[in-house]
Chain A
Amino acid sequence: MNTDHILRSFDKDLNKNENLILEMGGLVEQQLIQATRALKKEDAKLSKKVLPNQSRIREMEAKLNASAIQLLALRQPVAADLRNVIMSLRIAGHLERIGKYTKNMARRTHTITKAEAFTGSISTLVRMSELVQEMIKSALDAYNNLDVETAEEIRSRDEDVDHMNNTLFRELLTYMMEDPKNIAGAMHLLFIAKNIERMGDHTTEIAQEVIYMVTGEWPAEKRPKGDKTSQIIFSPQDLDNKQSSPEES
C-alpha cells in the first residue's frame, strides 16, 4: 500500500503476514527446485532431502492462519486491508498444496530411481516443472509488488503447462502400450506430471487472488483450461497407425 496506517502497529501486523507468505513461498520454490533436480539426475538420495521441508511449510501455514484470524478479530480490516488478509489466507493454502505436490513428486522420484524403473520423458517433465517454478516466482513477485500485469501473464502461462501435460500423457501412454514393463515407471511419471500440472493450477489461482487483492475485482474472463488428458483415449489401432490423431479415432 502506498500510505501507512495512522495506527502504526496495524502496518506491523500486515507486514508480518506478508513476510510469512513470502517466506513460505520461498521455501516451496526451493523445494520444487530440489525435487526437480532429483528427478533430472534420477538421484534417490537428493529426492529424500525434499521430504522434511513440507512439515515446515505446514507449520508456517498454521502460523499465518492464526495471525490472519487475530488480525481480523482485533483490527477489523476493511477494503484493501481486508482483501489483503483474506487473500493471504487463500494464498497460503495454495502454497501448502504446491508444497504437498512437490513432496509427492520427490517421493515418486525416489521410488522409481530406487527400483530402476522405466524413466522416459523425464526431460519434458523437467521442462514442465521449470515452467511452473518460474510461474511461482512470478506469482510471489506479483504478490510482493502488487503487480497486476505480471499476475495476468501467469494465467496465460498455465496454458503451456497444460499442453505439456497433454503431450506427456500421450507419450507415456504410448510407452506403456509398447512394453508392459514400462507401466510401473510410466504410471509414477504420469502422476508426477499430474502433480506438476496441479501446481500450475494453484499458482494460477494465486495470481488471480493477487489481482483481486489489488483491484477488488476478480479477473473477468475465465482462465483458459488446457488440460485435455481427461478426453484422451488410445486403442491398439493407434499403435499400428501412429500418424492418425488419437482424438479422431
Chain B
Amino acid sequence: MTKSSVKKDKPAKKSKKNIILSAKNVDVFYGSKQAINNVSFEIPENRITALIGPSGCGKSTFLRCFNRMNDSIDNCKVTGDIRFAGQDIYDPAVDVVALRARIGMVFQKANPFPKSIFDNVAYGPRIHGLASSKEHLEEIVVSSLKRAGLFDEVADRLHEGGTGLSGGQQQRLCIARAIAVDPQVILMDEPCSSLDPIATAVIEDLMESMKENYTIVIVTHSMQQAARISQRTAFFHLGDLVEFGKTRDIFTNPKQTRTQNYISGRTG
C-alpha cells in the first residue's frame, strides 16, 4: 500500500503547474468607486479556475483585467501588478491586440459576427495573419471547430450564417473563434448563463477537454458549475478576494465564514 501511494505522489509532484497569470495588489476603480480591493492570487496553467461571488462582487471586473478589457471603459483605473507568463501586461509597450489573441474571451451572450460560420472562425487568423494559404486557413477553421466540439454539427453548412445556430452552438462558435488565434488562456464570463442544462453540459465537457491545451478562467453564478468543472475556486465578495483554493476544499471545507455562508446559501 505504501508503495503504490509513493508512486501516486510522484507524478503529482511532477505535474505541479506553472503559474500563467498572476495578480498582485490589484485595485480597480470606477471613477471614485473602488470595485476591487487589493487582490492577489495566482492562476495555474492548464487548469480551470472559477471566480464565484454574488452580483457586483467584482469577479467580472477582475476577469477583464487579465486581457485589459477594462481599458475601453473611460473612468476605469487598474493599479497593481498583473502578469501573463511573467510579463507585466499593463506595460505601455504591450500590444493589446496581440495580448487579446493570447488571452481570448468568451462572453455571457454568444455574439457571433453577422457572417458565415466559416468567416466567424477565420476572422481572427485573418487579421492576425496566421494563415499562410487558403488551405492553411481552412485547416485552422476546421480544427478550431473540431476543438470546440461543433464541427460535426455544422460541417455541411460552414458558409451559412453563424447567427442561425442554436444558443449553445453559437456559444461554441464563439469558443472556436477564440481558439482560432491559438490563445494560451481563455477567459469566460458566464458562458452558460443563457443555455439549457444539456447545452451547458456540452460546454462543460468541452472545457474539460480544452484544459489540456488551454488555461481557462471562468466567472460563473452557478456554484454547482464551479464545483463540477474547476480545479481552483476564488470567492469574491464586495471587491475582496475572500478565499482562493482547491475547488474540492472550498466546497467541502471552506476556511472563511463568508465563503461558507455564500456557497451554502446562507445569509451572512
Residues of A within 8 A of B (CB): 1, 3-7, 10, 76-83, 216-217
Contacts and interface: CB of A to CB of B under 8 A. Distances in A.
Interface string B233-268: 000000000000000001111100001110111111
Contact count band on B? 10 to 19
B253 A5 contact: no
Nearest to A217: B253
Top-7 shortest CB links A-B? A216-B253, A3-B266, A78-B251, A81-B264, A78-B263, A5-B265, A79-B260
A4 B253 CA distance: 18
Nearest to A82: B252
A80 B261 CA distance: 10
A82 to B, nearest CB: 6
Q: Is the interface of B mostly helix, strand, loop or mixed?
A: helix
A11 to B, nearest CB: 9
B224 interface: yes
Contact of A5 (B254, B259, B264): B264
B227 A3 contact: no
Contacts of B268: 3
B266 A78 contact: no
Contact of B261 (A3, A7, A217): A3
A80 B250 CA distance: 11
Contacts of B227: 78
B265 A79 contact: no
A4 B260 CA distance: 12
A78 B264 contact: yes
Contact of A3 (B250, B253, B254, B267): B267
Nearest to B251: A78
B251 A1 contact: no
B154 interface: no
B267 A79 contact: no
A47 B249 CA distance: 48
B254 A79 contact: yes
19 contacts: A3-B266, A3-B268, A4-B266, A5-B264, A5-B265, A5-B266, A5-B267, A6-B267, A78-B251, A78-B252, A79-B251, A79-B252, A79-B254, A79-B264, A80-B264, A81-B264, A83-B252, A216-B252, A217-B253
B223 interface: yes
Most interface-central of A4, A78, A82 (chain B CB within 10 A) = A78
A4 B264 contact: no
Contacts of A3: 261, 266-268
A17 to B, nearest CB: 15
